[in-house]
Amino acid sequence: MTKKAFEKVAANGLISRRHLLGLGVAGSGLAISGAALGADSQINFQIPSWSRQPGPGPSAYGSRSPYAEDLERLSGFTNPTYPGGGASRSPLQHLQGTITPNSLHFERHHAGVPNIDPSQHNLVINGLVRQPLVFRYEDLLKYQMVSRIHFLECSGNSGALLRGEVGGSAQSLHGLVSCAEWTGIPLSTLLDEAGVLPEAKWVAAVGADGASMGRSVPIAKALDDVMVALYQNGEAVRPEQGYPMRLFCPGWEGNISVKWLTQLKLTAEPSQFRDETSKYTDTLPNRLSYQFTFPMGSKSLITSPSGEMTLDQTGIYQVTGIAWSGRGSIRKVEVSADGGQTWAEAAIQGHQLDRALTRFTIPWEWNGGRAILQSRATDSEGNIQPTRDALIAEKGTLSFYHTPCIQSWGVDEQGQVTNVYV
Ligand SMILES: Nc1nc2c(c(=O)[nH]1)N[C@H]1C(S)=C(S)[C@@H](COP(=O)(O)O)O[C@H]1N2
Ligand SMILES: [Mo]
């Protein structure tokens, strides 16, 4: 078969989807009819053992295939002086679509996961309200709920790139982002019931974990789209994600979505919690710091091919990845195979929801030479994902929160994919 000349859409092998489809039909048609003829006449078709007997019956709570058990969250080191503290990262390079399975949602805990009996747990609303209220878990289940698909990202995600760390995978460098359908009660419903006084400008949210983690949410956000989430992808929020309830602040840095939520106090000023003073503030090169940096940036990441993978043959690969923005939906994602000299627009696979992961894909022909794969997201507000150099020029390297810069994956002549800096 003569090699088809693909329509190039950018340098170093990025090709047009339409032309690839045309080839796919002809090529696989040949392959299938060839194999089928062979099977009929020569291959002694064996009935596999699992087809010869019934398997186990239905189960109370499903689990994954034992052949898929290598799919795991990646936990960092444990520190004896920080019991329960730490994070685990989603295996982004092995996931498809945009919804993170609950068992693989990333975790970030400041004092471990509390074991909360919902019948003993209350949510208090107090402070600058007409009528302080206490809700039991069963009370909250009686309210009308809303469901929204949103990403959640730790503001420390991808900080390794700013630090210039060597090596790493999509998971180890960027795995502190996940996406789920969150179902819960709009916070405005509960605040309206308590009656917010005009002087209330902030909502102090506190968790029931050993860290008593607290964050201050501006009243405008609290009344806009924040929810008290009770369900995650249809089932009760997992203990790791805040069972029995968490605050969920769409698009904003993960730590403001307080887990194991137990108190909402209306205040005139931010509460200056430990978690919003000693941490989670961005210091600029002139050593002034932003008091708060709430929305997550416009960002994308190629998840395949990605760091620590090896391409085992030349030819066509589907470059795929995820894009998201804390300020809106994803308008477009561009991909480069030559380190950002030339770009082509990727196709969006599935939905382009507001502040949710969006999956992109573009075919790429690896010719066996060197390549540098990059992706660049533009959101619905026109925010374009910056290069690492541009981000460092803007915010320096005194703090490592909010680092949505472009990831470069280098491919060498052996097909090895590594994290590189260009
Ligand atoms: N009560 C409480 N809420 C918390 C935390 C915590 O340690 N305690 N961690 C925060 C941080 S830093 C992040 S990034 C998100 C992580 O949410 P997840 O573990 O569900 O992914 O929860 C936030 N809410
Ligand atoms: Mo975080």
Q: Which of 115, 230, 246, 255 to mutate to test the pocket of ligand 1 (most atoms within 8 A of CB)?
A: 255
Mutate to test the pocket of ligand 1, among 74, 88, 108, 152 (most ligand atoms within 8 A of CB): 108
Higher-confidence residue of 280 and 355: namely 355
Contact 319, 358 (CB under 8 A): no
Take atom 23 of ligand 1 and give the residue whose Cα is closest: 255
In this model, does residue 34 exceed pLDDT 80?
no
CATH of 107-151+179-290, one of 3.90.180.10, 3.40.50.300, 3.40.50.150, 3.90.420.10: 3.90.420.10
Kindly state the average pLDDT of the residues 398-415: 96
Q: How wide is the angle at C-alpha 84 spanned by C-alphas 78 and 86, nearest 5°?
A: 55
Cβ count near 62 (within 10 Å): 6
What residue type is assigned to position 152 of the chain?
Answer: L
Backbone torsions φ then ψ of 45, nearest 5 degrees: -70, 120
Taking the centre of ligand 2 as the mean of its atom positions, its distance from the CA of residue 137, in whole angstroms, is 26
The closest-lying atom of ligand 1 relative to the alpha carbon of residue 275 is 12
Q: Count the neighbouring beta carbons within 10 Å of the beta carbon of residue 389.
A: 12
In angstroms, what is the span from residue 275 Cα to ligand 2's centroid?
A: 10
Ligand 1 atom nearest the C-alpha of 208 is: 1
Instruction: Report the pLDDT value the prediction gives residue 29, as an integer from 0 to 100.
Output: 38
Which helix (H) or strand (E) segment holds residue 185: the answer is strand 177-186
| Bond before 186 cis per omega within 30 degrees | no
User: Relative to the CA of 209, which ligand 1 atom is closest?
Assistant: 1
Please work out whether the CB of residue 100 comes within 6 Å of at least one atom of ligand 1.
no
What would the mean pLDDT of 255-266 be, rounded to a whole number?
98
Per-residue pLDDT tens for 176-216?
999 999 999 999 999 999 999 999 999 999 999 999 999 99
Q: What is the mean pLDDT of residues 24-42?
A: 44
CA–CA dist 190, 202 (Å, integer): 15
Is 207 close to ligand 1, i.e. is its CB under 6 Å away?
A: yes
Q: Which residues have CB less than 5 Å away from ligand 2 (the ion)?
A: 108, 154, 254-255
pTM of the model: 0.93
Strand 122-127 and strand 261-267: pairing? parallel
**CB-ligand 1 contact for 260 (6 Å cutoff):** yes
What is d(CA 41, CA 32) in angstroms, rounded to the nearest whole number? 14
Nearest-CA residue for atom 2 of ligand 1 = 259
Helices (H), ranges, 164-265? 170-174, 187-194, 219-224
Per-residue pLDDT band for 347 (boundaries 50, 70, 90) equals very high
| CA 242 to ligand 1: nearest atom | 20
Give the per-residue pLDDT at 28. Answer: 40
Q: 248 CB less than 6 Å from ligand 1? A: no
Question: Are 205 and 214 in contact, with CB atoms under 8 Å apart?
Answer: yes
C-beta 214 within 6 A of ligand 1: no
Residue 70 binned pLDDT confidence (cut-offs 50, 70, 90): confident
Tell me the CA–centroid distance for residue 257 and ligand 1, in Å.
Answer: 7
Token pair belonging to 21: 């489809």
